[in-house]
Amino acid sequence: MNTTTAETRVTEATLGGWERHVHWERVWGTIVTFDVRGESVGTDVREAVAEAAVFLHDVDSWFSTYRVDTPITALRNGLIAESQAPSVVRQVLDRCRAIRRLTRGAFDPWAVPGGVDPSGFVKGWAADIAAQIVVDHGFSNVSVNAAGDVACRGLQSPDQPWVVGILHPESNTEVVRTVELTECSIATSGLFERGNHIIDPHRGVHEVRLDSATVIGPDGGLADALATALLLEGEDGLRFFAGLSDWSGYLMRGGRASYFGPAFETSSDCRGEIPTQRSTS
């Protein structure tokens, strides 16, 4: 994998007497940030984060299209059949097929140059699992920021959900909206830094309808993929959420934003109904 964009970031907040452990892991050609908080984090947190970091490097060894020694590269080059790939690769590709059906082909890892590339799902999926590894070690308050795909668990300080800022699609310093999240994942797809790098699977051209699309929900991989699909489909992509009542979205185009879902009403734990879409300039 190789990813450098970061259109979403955890904002700084007071610890309220809690302790904090931050770790930066260089992987996938970017930096993944672990932020663990609690009344007492102790030294055991290093073991928890180290295990999660090992998983992230495993993800690179399975899914990087920039390495010649990964199963996904072998699959792309026709050196193995999908049935010969490791089970984790097959499982991820099965999830991608399900999302391709959900989005009616707007998200399609098979409609890219060079063969299948599930990176648009894997980053959010991996951030979720990395956060869960830390939680399983007994640290329930953690955020994992995988180059803009953020998995939030627990709180960032006593009674305070994680505060995550959505960046302006033309600036990596301007936050246009913040949301308060717990037990959620958030992903943003946009043109910042890499330009128009996303291909419309239906027409095979670089053409999008939004400047950025942010999706919030309980599944980081699905959030990642849906953000890409929304970028291509614009507001027509809201139909993808018809059966996803606990999800939220924030869409930007030409300096205007529209949004939906519980995350933009109050602090969100990814449960609630999708309200009427609203717009702001």
User: Which residues, 6+ apart, have CB-to-CB distance to 116 below 8 Å?
Assistant: 72, 75, 76, 93, 109, 110
**11-27 pLDDT per residue, tens:** 777 799 999 999 999 99
**197 dihedral zone (left: phi>0; alpha: psi -120 to 50; beta):** alpha
Question: For residues 248 and 254, what is the distance between their CA atoms, to the nearest angstrom?
Answer: 21
Residue 237: give the domain boundaries.
8-280
Quickly state the pLDDT bin for 76 (edges 50, 70, 90). Answer: very high
Q: Do the domain assignments include residue 231?
A: yes
User: Which residues, 6+ apart, have CB-to-CB distance to 135 below 8 Å?
Assistant: 142, 153, 154
Q: Do the domain assignments include residue 2?
A: no
What is the percent of the chain with per-residue pLDDT over 70, rounded to a whole number?
Answer: 86
Mean pLDDT, residues 192-212 taken together: 63
Q: What is the pLDDT of residue 272?
A: 38
Q: Do the domain assignments include residue 157?
A: yes
From residue 85, how far is each of 27, 56, 71, 118, 154 by CA, in Å? 22, 18, 6, 14, 35
Alpha-carbon torsion angle 132, 5, 217, 11, nearest 10: 80
Mean pLDDT, residues 219-224 taken together: 98
Q: Do the domain assignments include residue 36?
A: yes
From residue 34, how far is each of 21, 78, 133 by CA, in Å? 8, 36, 12
Q: Do the domain assignments include residue 188?
A: yes
Q: What is the pLDDT of residue 8?
A: 78
Residue with tokens 């930007």: 252
pLDDT at 231 over 90: yes
pLDDT at 195 over 90: no
pLDDT at 276 over 50: no
Residue 38's CATH number: 3.10.520.10
Q: What is the pLDDT of residue 172?
A: 78
Instruction: Domain count for the chain, please give it.
Output: 1
Q: Do the domain assignments include residue 240?
A: yes
DSSP 250-278: EEEETTEEEEESGGGTS-B-S-S-----E
DSSP helix/strand/coil, 220: helix
Mean pLDDT, residues 107-134 taken together: 96
Q: What is the pLDDT of residue 277?
A: 47
Mean pLDDT, residues 45-51 taken together: 98
